[in-house]
Amino acid sequence: MKPLILITNDDSIEAPGLHKLVKIASEFGDVIGVAPREPQSGMSSAISVSRALRIHEVPDYSGARMFTVSGTPVDCVKLALNAIVPRRPTLILSGINHGSNTGNAITYSGTMGAVLEGCMNGIASVGFSLCHHSVKADFDLSAPFVRQIIADVLKDGLPNYTALNVNIPARVEPLGIRACRAARGHWSEEFARYTDPMGLPFYWLCGRFINEEPEATDTDEYWIGQGYISLVPVTPEQTDSNFLKQLLNK
Amino acid sequence: MKPLILITNDDSIEAPGLHKLVKIASEFGDVIGVAPREPQSGMSSAISVSRALRIHEVPDYSGARMFTVSGTPVDCVKLALNAIVPRRPTLILSGINHGSNTGNAITYSGTMGAVLEGCMNGIASVGFSLCHHSVKADFDLSAPFVRQIIADVLKDGLPNYTALNVNIPARVEPLGIRACRAARGHWSEEFARYTDPMGLPFYWLCGRFINEEPEATDTDEYWIGQGYISLVPVTPEQTDSNFLKQLLNK
């Protein structure tokens, strides 16, 4: 039997990046798309704990059945596994995201929230992001590399509790793929401040990523800057083992 | 000058656990409370990227100025640091959450989303959760331990990029505090399935945590079960260094 590949994203069912990924994945197996009905950028691993969720089937795309879920990317994965897929997927893919998920953007990323969810369910999971926000971004330049990563993961699998965060440089033909670590950084939290027609203030998030180690040559930020695709193995487990050892030896 | 302590949560400004934490923290410094206007359980590290955010000051509590933000716990921390606090906080506390955040619940937890945000901003940050969902849960039994943890962190600080996830057993006087790691596990994704008055199906999340290593005696799940407070050092960084080494040596 062909492998079943579940595809989701955080940009919603209408995103060209999702369609591109469905199309490429269709070369490798049976594909089902389950994506949020509304855009879910920045939703991280959020789950809907106190509201109803709906599933709607929409027209097939490139031979794949396609569904929307009225929730977050993690809701999509959970509901897909429990109420949509006919058998256990071999692979979960998320993206291709319209926008970068390098550095610690993984903390906020809905794309990667879905990937970590797949991973915690014991399914090999990979997130793809193109470092370009436009809805008209060109996904074709990276297609051969996306194809290669899918083929490799289907062949070799991934360790338990390890997933992949793949970022693709914008507007260039990638020079290759580089395994690396996420750059350490934070977001500069500038908020735009406005005054509404009633004279009351409101705020709008507009931060940007500050790479705290711009000299490092082993990070995703570095390799993206060099024109390579970055591939960061990530884990949902967050215990800080080093500091735990210190605490236990006190 | 007294230390400034910023307090937030994911259960909203009205949660008794927030008030308890404000009261205890007031013994150690100047306190400002900035909490979500609406409950935000399960919101993880979600940020509001495409909507306006509002700040409202509400009546003081126990000598602390109190504010609501119309967003997520991470929005609360970001907006507090940028638009509310008069100086940089020495400490960020989140909770006391009404409900457990052991094991990999940290992935979904709004309480811990706020804590990881504080940590990435270079501020010592601690999340407190009581393993009991009731709005009438008894926070008094654990107060001496909460006090001790706050005092220790104010005295010793925390390493860069390390925060603390503290869970408190329900309905017992804790026997002590144990530093430990998060139990590996996943959520059993049962959804309740309903039919609406139109005859259309909808779904409601109702999973529960499955501890995948119930025999382990060094996890938060174990120590909570023994009647201790679990203290897990956590990091926002998620690169899987072991698998990265394997990939680089291929």
pLDDT digits (tens, 9 = 90+) for A27-60: 999 999 999 999 999 999 999 999 999 999 999 9
Residue of A nearest to B165 (CA): A239
The average pLDDT across B92-97 equals 97
CB A169 within 8 A of CB A227: yes
Gap between the Cα atoms of B118 and A140, Å rounded: 39
Q: What percent of chain B has pLDDT over 90?
A: 90
With CA atoms as reference, report the closest residue to B73 among B98, B48, B36, B101. Answer: B36
pLDDT, residue B134, reads: 78
B184: chain A residues, CB-CB within 8 Å: 161, 237
Contact state of A205 with B244 under an 8 Å Cβ cutoff? no
Residue of A nearest to B200 (CA): A54
List the single best residue of B158, B164, B238, B241 to mutate versus A (max A Cβ within 10 A).
B238
The average pLDDT across A109-122 equals 97
Residue of B nearest to A181 (CA): B239
Residues 6+ apart with CB under 8 A from A198: none
Contact state of B179 with A247 under an 8 Å Cβ cutoff? yes
A179: chain B residues, CB-CB within 8 Å: 244, 247-248
Confidence of residue B170 (pLDDT cuts 50, 70, 90): very high
pLDDT, residue A210, reads: 87
Taking each helix axis from N to C end, the angle separating B143-156 and B16-25, rounded to the nearest 10 degrees, works out to 50
Phi and psi torsions of A159, nearest 5°: -60, 155
Mean pLDDT score across all residues of chain A:
95
B191: chain A residues, CB-CB within 8 Å: 53, 78-79, 82-83
Instruction: Say what the ipTM of the complex is.
Output: 0.94
- Paired residues of B34 in beta bridges: B67
List the single best residue of A123, A162, A202, A205 to mutate versus B (max B Cβ within 10 A).
A205
Residue A108 CA from chain centroid, whole number = 10
The average pLDDT across A237-250 equals 93
B48: chain A residues, CB-CB within 8 Å: 42, 205
Of A83, A104, A205, the CB nearest to B49: A205
> If you write DSSP's letter for every residue of chain B in order, what string do you get?
-PPEEEEE-SS-TT-HHHHHHHHHHTTTSEEEEEEESS--TT-TT----SS-B-EEEEEEETTEEEEEESS-HHHHHHHIIIII-SS--SEEEEEEEES---GGGGGT-HHHHHHHHHHHTT-EEEEEEES---TT---GGGHHHHHHHHHHHHHH---TT-EEEEEE-SSS----EEE-BPPPEEEE--EEEEE-TTS-EEEEE--EEEES-TT-SSBHHHHHHTTPEEEEEE-S--B-HHHHHHHHH-
Q: What are B12-58's pLDDT values in tens digits?
A: 999 999 999 999 999 999 999 999 999 999 999 999 999 999 999 99
Q: What are B176-220's pLDDT values in tens digits?
A: 999 999 999 887 868 999 999 999 999 999 978 889 999 999 999
Contact state of A50 with B43 under an 8 Å Cβ cutoff? no
Gap between the Cα atoms of A97 and A8, Å rounded: 10
pLDDT, residue A113, reads: 98
CB A40 within 8 A of CB A72: yes
> If you write DSSP's letter for every residue of B140-191 in order, what string do you get?
GGGHHHHHHHHHHHHHH---TT-EEEEEE-SSS----EEE-BPPPEEEE--E
Q: What are A205-237's pLDDT values in tens digits?
A: 997 888 999 999 999 999 999 999 999 999 999
pLDDT, residue B27, reads: 97
- Paired residues of B62 in beta bridges: none
User: Which amino acid makes up residue A180?
Assistant: C
With CA atoms as reference, report the closest residue to B8 among B86, B91, B82, B83. Answer: B91
Residue A15, helix vs strand vs coil: coil
Residues 6+ apart with CB under 8 A from B71: B36, B47, B48, B53, B79
Gap between the Cα atoms of B191 and B211, Å rounded: 19
Contact state of A107 with B116 under an 8 Å Cβ cutoff? yes
Task: Please count the residues of chain B.
Answer: 250
Gap between the Cα atoms of A117 and A8, Å rounded: 11
Contact state of A42 with B46 under an 8 Å Cβ cutoff? yes
Confidence of residue A138 (pLDDT cuts 50, 70, 90): confident
DSSP secondary structure letter of residue A53 = B
Confidence of residue B133 (pLDDT cuts 50, 70, 90): confident
Of A44, A48, A239, the CB nearest to B182: A239
CB B164 within 8 A of CB B158: yes
A43: chain B residues, CB-CB within 8 Å: 44, 46
Residue B39, Cβ neighbours under 10 Å: how many? Answer: 18
Burial class (CB in 10 A: 0-12, 13-18, 19+), B194: exposed
Contact state of B122 with A49 under an 8 Å Cβ cutoff? no
Of B44, B179, B244, the CB nearest to A44: B44
Q: What are A139-182's pLDDT values in tens digits?
A: 999 999 999 999 999 999 999 999 999 999 998 899 999 999 99
Of A79, A104, A200, the CB nearest to B236: A104
Cα torsion A213, A108, B163, B81 to 10°: value is 90
Residue of A nearest to B250 (CA): A179
Residue A54, helix vs strand vs coil: coil
**How near does any CA of chain A get to the CA of B20, in Å?**
24
Q: And the tokens for B82?
A: 């940028």
Interface size, chain A vs chain B, as Cβ–Cβ contacts under 8 Å: 205
pTM of the model: 0.96
Contact state of A184 with B237 under an 8 Å Cβ cutoff? yes
Contact state of A203 with B236 under an 8 Å Cβ cutoff? no
Taking each helix axis from N to C end, the angle separating A143-156 and A16-25, rounded to the nearest 10 degrees, works out to 50
pLDDT, residue B189, reads: 65
**How near does any CA of chain A get to the CA of B127, in Å?**
14
Gap between the Cα atoms of A22 and A6, Å rounded: 9
The average pLDDT across A185-194 equals 84
Q: What are B75-89's pLDDT values in tens digits?
A: 999 999 999 999 999
Gap between the Cα atoms of A209 and A207, Å rounded: 7
**How near does any CA of chain B get to the CA of A26, in Å?**
26
Of A240-244, B120-124, B142-146, B188-192, the range with the lowest mean pLDDT is B188-192
Residues 6+ apart with CB under 8 A from A145: A168, A174, A176, A177, A229
pLDDT, residue B178, reads: 98
**How near does any CA of chain A get to the CA of B48, in Å?**
7
A191: chain B residues, CB-CB within 8 Å: 53, 78-79, 82-83
List the single best residue of B111, B119, B152, B243 to mutate versus A (max A Cβ within 10 A).
B243
Residue of A nearest to B44 (CA): A46
DSSP secondary structure letter of residue A140 = G
- CA distance readout (Å), A97 to A8, A11, A24, A137, B204: 10, 7, 15, 10, 27
